Amino acid sequence: MKAICRVLLLGVCILGKVVAQQDSLMMERIYTASFENGKAYENLRYLTKNIGHRIAGSAKAEKAVLWSKALMEGLAFDRVYLQEVEMPFWDRGEKEEAYIVSTKEPLNILSLGGSVATPPGGLEAEIIEVELLSELRAQGNKVRGKIVFVNKPWDESMVETGIAYGLNSSQRSRGPVEAAKLGAVAYLFRSLSSSPDDDYPHTGGTRYVNDIDSIPALAISPVGANKLSEALKKDSATRIHIVNHSAWKGNVTTHNVIAEWRGTDKPDEIITIGGHIDSWDVGEGAHDNGTGTMGTLDAIRTLMKLDYRPRHTIRLVFYMNEENGVHGALQYGETAKANAERIIAAIESDAGGFAPRGFDIKSSAERVNWIQQHWKPLFEQKFWVSRFLQGSPGVDSGVWGRHFPNTIMFNFRPDPHRYFDIHHTAKDVFEAVDRRELQSGVAAIASLLYLVDQQIDQLP
């Protein structure tokens, strides 16, 4: 009996090794194809240089939609289509201006996404500076008629820049409402930048609520925030002048772009992969999120060029408006739910196109352990990709995933150190992306997609 078991175990062991060897060889082919013949970088060049930034609802965003659709139609997908998305359109209008009234010293500011305009000609007021919104209440009546200035420096100690960002991003979204409740006339927010010497303001979404006045809300560069804080130390009655023209422009119809590569064994089981196609309306939306869209598309193209045939249906989704309301992901989720689709896995890329480090996984600890045992070694030794940890999905997957709580979700994690230097700024341009790093990420994503498609049924 014992001897039979040993033989059986040996068989399982040898079989396991053979499978791992096949996977390893496939991944080598994927990496070689991506480095030698990858198209993500050149597609990104077109998207950023010929189309440019593309805030959801704009003509450029629609141009990006149609161009992406044509790109997908040029590949071996079985079906390519647009999914309508209704959303309100927010437009920045003419460039913002700000200066310290006494010295005329200019300050670099950017309207936060969703902000209302200042009155015509701008507004001028004294400042009330705090690090945290929670300090505002104690100021009571002193806030009335002033500009609330939240000046919390970036936490330099964090290796995980995404966590440093997350620590403070709620002050960006909740700030205008909290300030307006106490009678403030505008909201000025120190940019979420990991670079302390940065004179670029970083935009990002904010929001209002019914029954509380909507006040103009703007981001100020770290250098500008330091200047203003110094001026306030010398003279607490320092006034600034700000002009902002942004406004909501009513509803528009825009689109998610979707392509499907039909599975051979289980075509009704879907693996969703993609990222958001919109960007903020400064820079070129290169790392956020040209690399995510062009990268996931190229991961699939690479598998196609290697004559791979997927077992499950692979569905590529370019979501619209992750940045200013996640309307595309909401629509995707509602449609998939209404159609009672079986989405068994999701992969999202929306953290930049720097050198790949791994994937965060939204699933049970048991499944993450299994992946660490079986897939991580394939990535780690040859390809320098080693992070496979339980974590959050990407923003878009997280939104539609509320309808699909059991779907395993992978969130692509490239190196995090430089992302928040350029995130949501004029610096997020094609030149900030390295071809080799990008194609290495494409290969990591294609490898994961291959492993998910081949082995998802073996997960515990």
Q: Which is nearer to Zn ion, 201 or 328 (CB)?
A: 328
Q: Is 439 in the site for Zn ion (CB under 5 A)?
A: no
* Residues that contact Zn ion, how many (by CB under 5 A): 3
The verdict on 260 binding Zn ion (CB under 5 A) reads no
Q: How far is the CB of 349 from Zn ion (least distance, A)?
A: 9
Least distance CB 401 / Zn ion (angstroms): 16
Q: CA 258, CA 459: separation in Å to the nearest integer?
A: 27
Piece of the chain touching Zn ion by CB under 5 A; list 48-56, 249-257, 346-354, 372-380: 346-354
Closer residue to Zn ion, CB minimum distance, 56 or 217: 56
> For residues 71 and 395, which CB has a smaller minimum distance to Zn ion in the complex?
395
Q: Does 288 bind Zn ion (CB under 5 A)?
A: yes
Minimum CB distance to Zn ion smaller for 87 or for 143: 87
- Helix 2-37 / helix 291-305 crossing angle, nearest 10 deg: 120
Closer to Zn ion by CB, 129 or 350: give it. Answer: 350
Least distance (Å) from Zn ion to the CB of residue 137?
Answer: 33
CB of 293 to Zn ion, least distance (A): 10
Among 198, 350, 360, 428, binds Zn ion (CB under 5 A): 350
**Smallest gap, in angstroms, from Cβ of residue 19 to Zn ion?**
36
Question: Which CB sits closer to Zn ion, 289 or 397?
Answer: 289
How far, in Å, CA of 355 to CA of 383, rounded?
A: 11
Choose the binding region for Zn ion from 180-188, 233-241, 344-352, 372-380 (rule: CB under 5 A): 344-352
Integer Cα distance of 11 and 18 in angstroms:
10
Pick the stretch among 241-249, 285-293, 304-312, 438-446 that binds Zn ion (CB under 5 A).
Answer: 285-293
Nearer to Zn ion, 207 or 287 (CB): 287
Which stretch, 6-14, 178-186, 287-295, 405-413, contacts Zn ion (CB under 5 A)?
A: 287-295
Strands lying side by side in the sheet with 342-348: 79-91, 247-261, 312-319, 266-276, 342-348, 408-414, 356-362, 387-390
| Residue number with CB closer to Zn ion (288 or 453) | 288
Report in angstroms how near the CB of residue 230 gets to Zn ion at its nearest: 33
CB of 412 to Zn ion, least distance (A): 12
Smallest separation (angstroms) from Zn ion to the CB of 350: 4
Residue showing tokens 């949501």: 424
Q: Rule CB under 5 A: say whether 289 interacts with Zn ion.
A: yes
State the residues that interact with Zn ion by CB under 5 A.
Answer: 288-289, 350
